[in-house]
Amino acid sequence: MAGRRLDPAGATAARESTTRIALIYPELLGTYGDGGNATVLTQRLRWRGLSAEIVSVPAGEPVPAGCDIYLLGGGEDEPQTLAAEGLRRNKAIERAVAGGAVVLAVCAGYQVVGESFPAGGQIYDGMGLLGVETRRSFDPPDAPLPPRVVGDIVVEPDPSLGLPTVLGYENHGGRTRPLPGADGFAFGRVLRGLGNGVPEGTDGRIDGRVIGTYLHGPVLAQNPALADLMLTWVHGSLPRLPGPPEVEALRAARLRALQVG
C-alpha cells in the first residue's frame, strides 16, 4: 500500500478522453447483478455528456492496465478462488492503482483485494490492495454469529466521504477485519445487517481510491452518490446530477421500511 497514498479528494485534472471501466471476470465475480455497477458509472458519465466505455474482462484474459476504474463483484467460494488465482498472477490492477485508478470491490471482490480469505477449508492469498483479512470467524469469537448472513444492509459512510446513507444487500460467510496498522479506514458504520462482522460494527474498507464493501445491489444503482464520488476521483469536480427520481423514491421507501433515518 505504500507509495500510493493518493488524496482521493485531489482528483486527476479534468479530462476529455473516454473513461474506461473494467468489469473483472464477470462470469466468476457477478452474483447479484454487480456488473450493473459498470452500467451506472457509464450512464452517469453519459448523462453529463462525457464518454465512457465498459471493458469486460473474461476470466483467463489478461487484465488491461490502462483503465480508470476496476470493478470486482461477488462470487461463491470456488469461482472466488479462481478469480483470485488469475488476479494474483496478473498484476495489472496493482499497477493501475499505483497510477491512480479507482477500484470498487464487492463481497467476494472485497475479500480478494484483501490480504487473505477462506474457501473450502483453506486460506488463500488475496491481492493485498487492502490491509484486511477474512475468515469464517475470528478466534475467540467476539459474538455468536450466524454461519452466513443474508439480507438488507444499511451503512452510514465515514463522514470524510461526504456521502448519504448507503443501502445494499449482503450474502456472505466471511468476516473481515483490518490487519494491525493497516492503512485506510472502514467504509462506514453498519446501521442494519452485519458488514465486516467485527465488534466495531463496520462495513468495508477504503485505502486511497480502493473501496471494498459487502454491499451488493448492485450497490451503485441504489447509491448514485457513491458512483459520483468514484467518478470525481477520476475526473475532478463534475456537474451536479441528482439520482433518477425512481432511485430516490426507492431509497426513501427502503430507508422507511428498514426504519433507518
Ligand X SMILES: NC(=O)CC[C@H](N)C(=O)O
Q: Quick one: which of 8, 30, 75, 157 contacts ligand X (CB under 6 A)? A: 75
Stretch that binds ligand X, among 1-9, 158-166, 170-178, 180-188 (CB under 6 A): 170-178
Q: DSSP characters for 213-255?
A: ES-BS-HHHH-HHHHHHHHHHHHSS----PPPHHHHHHHHHHH
Q: Give the N- to C-terminal CA distance of the chain in Å, as an integer.
A: 35
CB-based contacts of 229: which residues, under 8 Å, 6+ apart? 161, 162, 163
- Rounded-to-5 percentages of helix, strand, coil across the chain: 25, 25, 45
Residues within window 80-109 making contact with ligand X, judged by CB under 6 A? 80, 107-108
Phi-psi label, residue 257: left if phi above 0, alpha if psi -120 to 50, beta otherwise: alpha
Q: Quick one: which of 157, 174, 184, 218 contacts ligand X (CB under 6 A)? A: 174
Whether 67 is catalytic is: no
Q: Quick one: which of 35, 114, 157, 173 contacts ligand X (CB under 6 A)? A: 173
For residues 31 and 37, which CB has a smaller minimum distance to ligand X in the complex?
A: 31
Please indicate if the annotation marks 136 as binding a ligand.
Answer: no
Q: Quick one: which of 23, 52, 72, 77 contacts ligand X (CB under 6 A)? A: 77
Q: Which residue has the cell 484483501?
A: 114
Whether 107 is catalytic is: yes
Cβ-contact 244, 29 below 8 angstroms:
no
* 76 part of the interface to ligand X, by CB under 6 A: yes
From 67, 107, 172, 235, active-site residue: 107
Of 192, 191, 148, 154, nearest to 171 (Cα)? 148
For residues 74 and 168, which CB has a smaller minimum distance to ligand X in the complex?
A: 74
Q: Quick one: which of 172, 177, 205, 209 contacts ligand X (CB under 6 A)? A: 172
Instruction: List the binding residues for substrate.
Output: 148
- Residues with catalytic roles: 107, 216
Residues that bind ligand X (CB under 6 A): 31, 74-77, 80, 107-108, 111, 171-174
